[in-house]
Every structure is written in structure tokens, then in C-alpha cells.
Amino acid sequence: MASVKQFQVTFDCAEPERVARFWCEVLGYVVSPPPKGFATWDDFDRSVPPEDRGSWFACIDPSGVGPRLFFQRVPEGKVVKNRLHLDVRVGTGLVGEERLAALEAECARLVPLGAVRVRLLHDGNDSCIVMQDIEGNEFCLD
């Protein structure tokens, strides 16, 4: 039987550090340590050509359970719906109004950080809120 592989989730974006710091706030992640041999991210950025500065950034789950998130600068902007998105599990085990209240509370926390509420999908006891991050990438509060 094959062993489970570690993986990271990669985001194409215009501003890697800004988007990474947004997701740190959403998920309780922390900024990854700077690359080996550098005391700070600023030290690392000063070591690369100007056109490559700020071209990527990463964050990690401090508990080591969740995947690493990697953000890379790309020249093109987002033009269509994501083919893959994150479901942020804030209502696990909850149903009905209790679930909806948990989703709404998390939505209210994320909107001031720059998230955009797109729509509520509600079907009796089950619901989720479709949102966008600060660069328009869709995700769901589930």
C-alpha cells in the first residue's frame, strides 16, 4: 500500500506576501521561516535580482498538520473561476441555525481582512458561504 504524501497548495497571485498574510489570518497559519542561510525575509529579498524580489512567499500550519501554502507571483490576473478551492471548515458537526451562526461569525471576521462574501448556499440543515480572498480567489466557509 502506498504511503500518504505530503503536499502543498500553491496559489498564483499578483502579491504573494499580501495574499499569504491574508491566509495566515484566515487559517491561523504562520509565515514560513526565511530560506536557509537568511535571518529574515528582507535579507533574502535583498539577495535576489530586483525583478525577483517578492516573487514568492509561504505560510505553514504551526501544528504541522495542515499543508504548506505557497504563493507565487504570475504576470496574468485571475480571469475565470478557480478549478480548485479551499473549504475552510468552521461549521463541522453543526447543523441548522447553529451552523449558519458559526459561518456568519467567521464571515464577519474575514470581511474586514479583505475577503468578499459572494453568496450563501443554504439547504435546510446544511449551508456554506462562498467567498473570495483579497485577489478574488474563491473559497467556501463550510
In a domain, 118, yes or no: yes
SS3 string of the chain? CCCCCCCEEEEEECCHHHHHHHHHHHHCCEECCCCCCCCCHHHHHHHCCHHHCCCEEEEECCCCCCCEEEEEECCCCCCCCCCCCEEECCCCCCCHHHHHHHHHHHHHHHHHHCCEEEEEEEECCEEEEEEECCCCCEEEEC
Same-domain pairing of 57 and 91: no
Same-domain pairing of 65 and 32: yes
Examine the fold and report which residue of 43, 73, 103 is the final residue of a domain before the chain moves on: 73
Domain range for 20 is 8-73
Same-domain pairing of 91 and 60: no
**pLDDT band for position 1 (50/70/90)?**
low
Residue with cell 449558519: 100
Which residues are CB-neighbours of 9 under 8 A, at least 6 positions away? 67, 68, 69, 70, 86
Q: Residue 125's pLDDT is what?
A: 72
In a domain, 56, yes or no: yes
pLDDT in tens, 11-56: 999 999 999 999 999 999 999 998 899 999 899 989 999 999 999 9
Same-domain pairing of 29 and 63: yes
In a domain, 80, yes or no: no
How many domains does the structure of the chain reveal? 2
Spatial distance between the Cα atoms of 85 and 130, rounded to a whole number of angstroms? 10
In a domain, 103, yes or no: yes
pLDDT in tens, 79-137: 887 878 899 999 999 989 999 999 999 999 999 999 999 999 988 778 999 999 999 99
